[in-house]
Chain A
């Protein structure tokens, strides 16, 4: 393997490796607390290529970095902290997704999509989301336990919701769920990763082409219509946008559904309170988002100018991972951060959806889906319990987005 100059180790002890694993599914990686206390902006080496990156761990600093116009999200820039191995020639061909664009390109793309996810639009989607959840819970009850909650509920609900929003036929869900799961797995080879992206893009390419000819009442068709006057995106951009919405719209929410249910089952007293008073649900959702912060390292950036963060100067061209799971366990913002507390008054200050101009555009949709799923399960399946030993559960330690592969439950 050839090494670039910036991969030469600095003097002193070897750098800690990133990513660091969560030794307990309900807490942050063990190393984070010490980093926040002693070395809040510190160096680490990326496991995938040995290159150095900055790790930012305090809530205040993570917000500062993600709100700073002098950081770029462009994964093609040298110094960007990649967590997948992407060969140079493949990288050169990558079409940037919105989350890897910088202003003004990013602003133009994001503004095409903002109207789809306003507080009002998401509120209007609520009844249909509730219907989808009820249908899946009906099916669970009809089948009888034990069932795997991931395949019976956690995956189908967000998948159905995003399919209806985008105008993607749900019949094809098995295929795109497999491709998007592969795209999240950072232990796959570049060839396997590339094949998954290509397969999904070919599928979406056909779909977008169809909608160009026969528009429907869906996000992709509305995007195409608006684009006729705005001229923001070409065909490949639209396919790339559809991929981002489809993958981002179901994988993350699915993981939060399963993890959230598991966490509530482990805290029966808080679960009972929630069942008795559904008005507590919105804050419980925020607290569960905070505790898991499943997309911990999704906030990768590269400095385009020198910036001061705490006592450290991050130089132009250096990579930064603003770790939202570390920020969301910062004891100066969230006292006793390792404890799940559905009443926590500052829960909403979490950064699980990121912060700054790239904050998850579907955050409010995810919130509504999580509320609907947790609330419905508590109400309609009061005897819900785990149907496996906790130590039999397999967690997604190998993925960009944390989760649990299967969650056997019964009632």
Chain B
């Protein structure tokens, strides 16, 4: 699993940082930062939830 984001779309809701804090964080501007581009397989569930709940569809997962 590979995770990428389009920071231009990010509206800083922080859902990803709350749902999957090992994979996502927010920088000083409050915008998404990917901490692990290839997260462990056991994090798939929470990463997919972050993808689903991101209000601006900023996160992409590539298998």
Closest to B12 in A: A114
B29 and A119 contact, CB distance less than 8 A: no
Q: A119-B14, A359-B11 are in contact. Are A114 and B55 (CB under 8 A)?
A: no
A276 to chain B, nearest CB (A): 25
A364 and B18 contact, CB distance less than 8 A: yes
B55 and A120 contact, CB distance less than 8 A: no
B30 and A118 contact, CB distance less than 8 A: yes
A-B pairs, 8 with minimum CB distance:
A114-B12, A114-B30, A119-B14, A359-B55, A119-B17, A115-B30, A118-B26, A118-B30
- A349–B49 alpha-carbon span in the complex (Å): 9
Q: Can you sample 28 A-B contacts with CB below 8 Å? A: A67-B55, A107-B11, A110-B11, A110-B12, A111-B12, A111-B29, A114-B30, A114-B31, A116-B30, A117-B14, A117-B30, A118-B12, A118-B14, A118-B17, A119-B21, A119-B26, A120-B17, A120-B26, A122-B14, A348-B49, A355-B55, A356-B55, A356-B56, A357-B56, A359-B11, A363-B13, A364-B14, A364-B18
Q: Number of contacting residues on A, CB 8 A?
A: 23
Residue A354 is within 8 A (CB to CB) of chain B in the complex: yes
Using Cβ atoms and an 8 Å threshold, which residues of chain B touch A66? Answer: 55
Residue B61 is within 8 A (CB to CB) of chain A in the complex: no
User: Which B residues contact A (CB, under 8 angstroms)?
Assistant: 11-14, 17-18, 21, 26, 28-31, 49, 52-53, 55-57
Closest to B16 in A: A119
- Among B12, B21, B52, residue most surrounded by chain A Cβ atoms (within 10 Å): B12
Q: Give the contacting residue for B57; candidates A67, A110, A349; CB below 8 A.
A: A67
A114 and B29 contact, CB distance less than 8 A: yes
Closest to B30 in A: A114
B30 and A357 contact, CB distance less than 8 A: no
Using Cβ atoms and an 8 Å threshold, which residues of chain A touch B30? Answer: 111, 114-118
Q: Give the contacting residue for A354; candidates B31, B52, B55; CB below 8 A.
A: B55
- A356–B9 alpha-carbon span in the complex (Å): 10
Using Cβ atoms and an 8 Å threshold, which residues of chain A touch B11? Answer: 107, 110, 114, 357, 359
A108 to chain B, nearest CB (A): 12
Given A118-B12, A361-B13, 18 more A-B residue pairs with CB atoms under 8 Å apart are: A66-B55, A67-B56, A110-B12, A114-B11, A114-B31, A117-B30, A118-B26, A119-B17, A119-B21, A119-B26, A120-B17, A120-B26, A122-B14, A348-B49, A348-B53, A359-B13, A361-B12, A363-B13
Using Cβ atoms and an 8 Å threshold, which residues of chain A touch B18? Answer: 119, 364
- A361–B18 alpha-carbon span in the complex (Å): 14
Interface string of A221-242 (1 = CB under 8 A from B): 0000000000000000000000
User: Which A residues contact B (CB, under 8 angstroms)?
Assistant: 66-67, 107, 110-111, 114-120, 122, 348-349, 354-357, 359, 361, 363-364
- A107–B9 alpha-carbon span in the complex (Å): 9
Using Cβ atoms and an 8 Å threshold, which residues of chain B touch A364? Answer: 13-14, 18
Using Cβ atoms and an 8 Å threshold, which residues of chain B touch A354? Answer: 55
Q: Give the contacting residue for B12; candidates A117, A348, A349, A355; CB below 8 A.
A: A117
- A247–B53 alpha-carbon span in the complex (Å): 26
A23 to chain B, nearest CB (A): 31
Closest to A367 in B: B18
Using Cβ atoms and an 8 Å threshold, which residues of chain A touch B29? Answer: 111, 114-115
Using Cβ atoms and an 8 Å threshold, which residues of chain A touch B14? Answer: 117-119, 122, 364
Using Cβ atoms and an 8 Å threshold, which residues of chain A touch B21? Answer: 119
Using Cβ atoms and an 8 Å threshold, which residues of chain B touch A348? Answer: 49, 53
- Among B17, B30, B49, residue most surrounded by chain A Cβ atoms (within 10 Å): B30
- A184–B14 alpha-carbon span in the complex (Å): 28
Using Cβ atoms and an 8 Å threshold, which residues of chain A touch B56? Answer: 67, 356-357, 359
- A332–B41 alpha-carbon span in the complex (Å): 28
B31 to chain A, nearest CB (A): 7
- A91–B50 alpha-carbon span in the complex (Å): 39
Using Cβ atoms and an 8 Å threshold, which residues of chain A touch B53? Answer: 348-349
B55 to chain A, nearest CB (A): 4
- A111–B30 alpha-carbon span in the complex (Å): 8
A245 to chain B, nearest CB (A): 15
